[in-house]
């Protein structure tokens, strides 16, 4: 059972379809793992459906459909080139079958993930999500690993997928959804008994504090894909 959840505003925006696509990924994954938030989404969807039923319909011209069909029949359309069959279901992958469905779809099945070591205890890989505002990554902290204290230059959303980590504000286990904004400094530490895998959504690069920050911060950036 998750102990840290998206805000009610984020859930409402997700239900309405107005939440940014990249931010919808961890919210959707959290909902799959959290019965409490799944129930909230069901309630929001019910309310939204009721509102739509009460909206007065807008009248259209009586012959609009006939005009559309006439246009389809008379206009010269370019032939559609043949294409490969589209498969909506993402093939099962031993690396990801235990992960929420929305995250499974971000992992390529035709090639291995190219992890980059950010420190002896931390490695990551960028995932392609089809948007240009947020960077979407897997971060994996080795058991007992400590991440240097850092601030944030933009919104950072983290969803724990495997293992756990802690900071001064709490202990985070699979399904927990953590949101950090500029000015919220923390120092994540992975549990001693298991590596910690997280999905991270970054609006801007982290900003390390202390001497290490003066050295590396000028070189940090994000790469939305």
Q: Mean pLDDT of all residues in the chain?
A: 86
Task: Examine the pLDDT at 172 and tell me if it is beyond 90.
Answer: yes
pLDDT the model gives residue 82: 40
pLDDT the model gives residue 90: 45
Distant-in-sequence, close-in-space partners of 180: CB < 8 Å, separation ≥ 6: 152, 155, 156, 157, 158, 186
Separation between Cα atoms, residue 119 and residue 134, nearest integer Å? 22
Average pLDDT over residues 23-40: 97
pLDDT the model gives residue 67: 65
pLDDT the model gives residue 79: 47
Average pLDDT over residues 171-193: 97
Confidence category of residue 97, pLDDT binned at 50, 70, 90:
confident
Q: Render pLDDT for 53-93 as a digit per residue (tens, 0 to 9).
A: 555 665 656 666 566 556 655 655 454 444 343 344 444 45
pLDDT over 90 for what percent of the chain?
73
Average pLDDT over residues 202-207: 97
pLDDT the model gives residue 115: 95
pLDDT the model gives residue 111: 86
Q: What SS3 string covers the chain?
A: CCCCCCCHHHHHHHHHCCCCHHHHHHHHHHHHHCHHHHHHHHHHHHHHHHHHHHCCCCCCCCCHHHHHHHHHHHCCCCCCCCCCCCCCCCCCCCCCCCCCHHHHCCCCCCCCCCCEEEECCEEEEEECCCCCCCEEEEEEECCCCECCCEEECCCEEEEEEECCEEECCEEECCCCEEEECCCCCECCEECCCCCEEEEEEECCCEEECHHHHHHHHHHCCCCCC
Task: For the full predicted model, state whether its pTM sits above 0.75.
Answer: yes
63-67, 153-157, 166-170: the lowest-pLDDT one = 63-67
Q: Render pLDDT for 99-146 as a digit per residue (tens, 0 to 9).
A: 999 999 999 888 889 999 999 999 999 999 999 999 999 999 999 999
């Amino acid at each position: 059972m998750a102990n840290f959840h998206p805000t009610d505003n984020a859930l409402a925006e997700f239900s309405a379809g107005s939440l940014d696509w990249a931010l919808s990924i961890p919210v959707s994954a959290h909902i799959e793992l959290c019965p409490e938030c799944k129930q909230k989404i069901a309630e929001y969807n019910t309310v939204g459906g009721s509102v739509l039923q009460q909206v007065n319909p807008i009248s259209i011209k009586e012959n609009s459909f006939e005009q559309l069909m006439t246009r389809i029949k008379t206009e010269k359309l370019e032939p559609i080139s043949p294409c490969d069959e589209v498969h909506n279901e993402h093939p099962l992958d031993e690396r990801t079958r235990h992960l929420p469905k929305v995250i499974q779809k971000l992992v390529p099945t035709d090639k291995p993930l190219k992890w980059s070591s950010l420190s002896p205890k931390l490695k990551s890989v960028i995932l392609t999500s089809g948007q240009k505002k947020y960077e979407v990554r897997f971060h994996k902290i080795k058991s007992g690993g400590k991440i240097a204290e850092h601030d944030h230059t933009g919104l950072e959303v983290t969803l724990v997928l495997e293992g756990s980590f802690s900071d001064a504000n709490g202990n985070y286990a699979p399904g927990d959804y953590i949101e950090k904004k500029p000015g919220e400094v923390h120092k994540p530490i992975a549990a001693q008994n298991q590596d910690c895998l997280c999905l991270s959504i970054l609006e801007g690069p982290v900003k390390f504090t202390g001497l290490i920050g003066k050295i590396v911060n000028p070189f940090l950036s994000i790469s939305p894909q």
